[in-house]
Amino acid sequence: MLTKPDSLLAYINDATGLRLPDGHFIDGGFRAPRSGRSMQSEDPGRGEAFADFARGNADDVADAVENSRKAFALWRRTPPAERGRILARTAELIRRNSERLAITECLDSGKPISEARGDVSGAARTFEYYAGACDKLEGSTFPLPSDYVGYSQFEPVGVTAHIIPWNFPISTAARGMAPALAAGCTVVAKPAEQTPFTALLLAELLFEAGLPAGVCNVVTGTGIEVGAPLVSNTGIDHVTFTGSVTTGASVMRACAENVTRSVMELGGKSPVVVLDDCDFDGTVTNVAGAIFEHAGQICSAGSRLVIEAGIHDRFVEALGRKAKAISLGHGLRSPDMGPVNSAMQQEKIAGFLDRARERGAEFISGGKASSDPETGKGYFIEPTIVANRPAEDELVQEEIFGPVLTVQKADNYEHALQLANCTRFGLVAGVFTGNFTRAHQLARDIDAGQVYINEYFAGGIEVPFGGNKQSGFGREKGLEGLKSYCKVKSIAARIG
Ligand code: NAI
Ligand code: MG
């Protein structure tokens, strides 16, 4: 019933069929918030509230952390192979519940249903990947003199807190929870107040898959009322934070107080470097996808086009035509592009565009706030491309977090490299060229956590992800991501 197009659209006005939880997930079940208060989540495609959820506070956080601490004693001793079986069953359950999860994600975040389905299948794949890694966490031996023996082993870091943003709710939850659980850690997660539901549903599926009560808890509410007490709780051993640089810095200060470990996935202003000898049509499609997927609300969005002068005019014209052809609409109508996440985000992005207009910037496409053409509702921004801007311009330096691409024209290869590195961020970069040597020189010389060559967003859960410079530190995904949740213990013994 959930998959027929007609019934999909029915959810736009009535989400009750999704049976969304209105409590926290603590100790293996949904639990009412201690304060008795709730708050509402909006459907950004309509700009209206669509479901209530629990408004947590420090007491709920304390309950969740206490349960998580107790459960850690048990979970860390659960045989790795058994942990793997539970994570593999979770992957299976995510797949079995994929349409409910995707519709929930689409309504809660605004993203088109096709993208939401992709995120849900990616979450299943994440659990599958780490399920296989549980029993392969091998330590090493040290070459000591023959009357000694030395070896290392990985131990779980303990109780882990996960602060999740609203742009990729289920993906980010899975990306943190799966490796943490695989390593033998327990979890207290706080989803963003704009998108609380899929993390709760994920915790329920983990429990259904056989995860012991208390091993994975989710507390919903605001950053101040739930996030802040969570990251400063002395029962937390590690924090994984994904979000803005400003909030990340305040979380780091809280971690410093208790000397808590952390992984910081912060913002980006990632360059897409296009050289004259690229595959023209394929690159146009890639550059558009890099900025207009999820309306540009991706930390790794390709938000700056750094393009060589020889190809510049023809390329920007083709890109402008592509941007103008993009359809907007409510996510459940399967548009090319959905809304941005909130009125606040819409205002923030429109502010960047208004200021650019005042500075005399030329718009190749878009440039304004908009709404769903069918209903006149929702928080939309037109797919926007701004013509060549100088390196110091705000549109080049700041993370806009919307469907706004800023062009930077490069005189030659060296200039392109210099422009690619011209911001305080260093999350990812795209490189498009037919020249093998140039491609790898750029990959070597661009200061970023990862570089995509000739396909933006290339790679999957196998590939480590994380930032340099103010984009953060630590790595998620891949086996590197698993190590974020492990402590190395070295043991040396005299045997002779
Ligand atoms: P934010 O960084 O404040 O929120 C991210 C998460 O942190 C949410 O779950 C929030 O509840 C939580 N949080 C907020 N204050 C906290 C605190 N003091 N302690 C612990 N947790 C706290 O981002 P926000 O305000 O939603 O968006 C503002 C801007 O941040 C966006 O316009 C965008 O530029 C950027 N952003 C970047 C993301 C990325 O993936 N790089 C994701 C989300 C936002
Ligand atoms: Mg919402």
pLDDT digits (tens, 9 = 90+) for 143-168: 999 999 999 999 999 999 999 999 99
End-to-end CA distance of the chain: 70
How far apart are the C-alpha atoms of 449 and 469, rounded to whole Å?
A: 9
Instruction: Report in angstroms the alpha-carbon separations of 467 from 19, 210, 214, 496.
Output: 37, 34, 31, 47
**Is 414 assigned a catalytic role?**
no
Strand partners, 328: 337
Pick the ligand that lies closest to the CA of residue 342.
2
| Ligand 1 mutation pick, 162, 222, 244, 266, max ligand atoms within 8 A of CB | 244
The model's confidence at residue 7, banded by pLDDT at 50, 70 and 90, is confident
The model's confidence at residue 13, banded by pLDDT at 50, 70 and 90, is confident
Distance from CA of residue 185 to its chain's centroid?
Answer: 21
Strand partners, 25: 30, 218
Ligand 1 binding pocket includes 301 (Cβ within 6 Å):
no
Strand partners, 381: 369
**Among 57, 66, 71, 211, which Cα is nearest to 134's?**
211
Predicted confidence (pLDDT) at residue 459 exceeds the cutoff of 90: yes
Question: Is the C-alpha dihedral spanning 71, 72, 78, 84 positive or negative?
Answer: positive
Rounded to the nearest angstrom, the distance between the alpha carbon of 110 and the centre of ligand 2 is 7
pTM: 0.97
Give exposure, 336-361, as e/b (b: 16+ Cβ within 10 Å).
bbbbbbbeebbeebbebbeebeeeeb
Instruction: Give the number of C-alpha atoms closer than 13 A to the C-alpha of residue 83, restricted to the C-beta side.
Output: 29
322-351 per-position pLDDT tens digit: 999 999 999 999 999 999 999 999 999 999
Rounded to the nearest angstrom, the distance between the alpha carbon of 247 and the centre of ligand 2 is 20
| Ligand 1 mutation pick, 340, 348, 401, max ligand atoms within 8 A of CB | 401
Predicted confidence (pLDDT) at residue 2 exceeds the cutoff of 60: no
How far apart are the C-alpha atoms of 108 and 104, rounded to whole Å?
A: 6
Predicted confidence (pLDDT) at residue 4 exceeds the cutoff of 70: no
The SS3 call for residue 337 is strand
Pick the ligand that lies closest to the CA of residue 229.
1
How far apart are the C-alpha atoms of 194 and 327, rounded to whole Å?
A: 24
Mean pLDDT of 118-128: 98
Ligand 1 binding pocket includes 39 (Cβ within 6 Å):
no
Instruction: Report in angstroms the alpha-carbon separations of 396 from 149, 380, 406.
Output: 55, 22, 6
Pick the ligand that lies closest to the CA of residue 192.
1
Give the E-state strand segments of 249-331 in sequence order.
261-265, 270-274, 302-308
Q: 127: which 2 tokens? A: 């659990």
Nearest atom (ligand 1) to Cα of 248:
2
How far apart are the C-alpha atoms of 151 and 25, rounded to whole Å?
A: 39
360-412 per-position pLDDT tens digit: 999 999 999 999 999 999 999 999 999 999 999 999 999 999 999 999 999 99
**Among 8, 57, 20, 58, which Cα is nearest to 37's?**
57
Report the DSSP pairing between strands 270-274 and 302-308: parallel
CB 422, CB 270: distance < 8 Å = no
Predicted confidence (pLDDT) at residue 25 exceeds the cutoff of 70: yes
How far apart are the C-alpha atoms of 93 and 95, rounded to whole Å?
A: 5
Ligand 1 binding pocket includes 296 (Cβ within 6 Å):
no
Nearest CA to ligand 1 atom 21: 227
Give me the phi and psi of 321, to 5 degrees please. Answer: -60, -40
CB 318, CB 360: distance < 8 Å = no
Nearest CA to ligand 1 atom 10: 223
Task: State the catalytic residue, choosing from 265, 308, 382, 476.
Answer: 265
Instruction: Give the number of C-alpha atoms closer than 13 A to the C-alpha of residue 11, restricted to the C-beta side.
Output: 31
Q: 345: which 2 tokens? A: 């985000």
pLDDT at 346: 98
Ligand 1 binding pocket includes 163 (Cβ within 6 Å):
yes
How far apart are the C-alpha atoms of 267 and 421, rounded to whole Å?
A: 15
Rounded to the nearest angstrom, the distance between the alpha carbon of 265 and the centre of ligand 2 is 21
Which percentage of the chain shows pLDDT scores above 70? Answer: 99
293-314 per-position pLDDT tens digit: 999 999 999 999 999 999 999 9
**Is 299 assigned a catalytic role?**
yes
Which alpha helices (H) appear in 293-342, and where do they start and end? 309-324
Predicted confidence (pLDDT) at residue 6 exceeds the cutoff of 80: no
How far apart are the C-alpha atoms of 383 and 2, rounded to whole Å?
A: 30
Ligand 1 binding pocket includes 193 (Cβ within 6 Å):
yes
Task: State the catalytic residue, choosing from 278, 299, 422, 486.
Answer: 299
Q: How many CB atoms lie within 10 A of CB 248?
A: 23
pLDDT at 1: 46
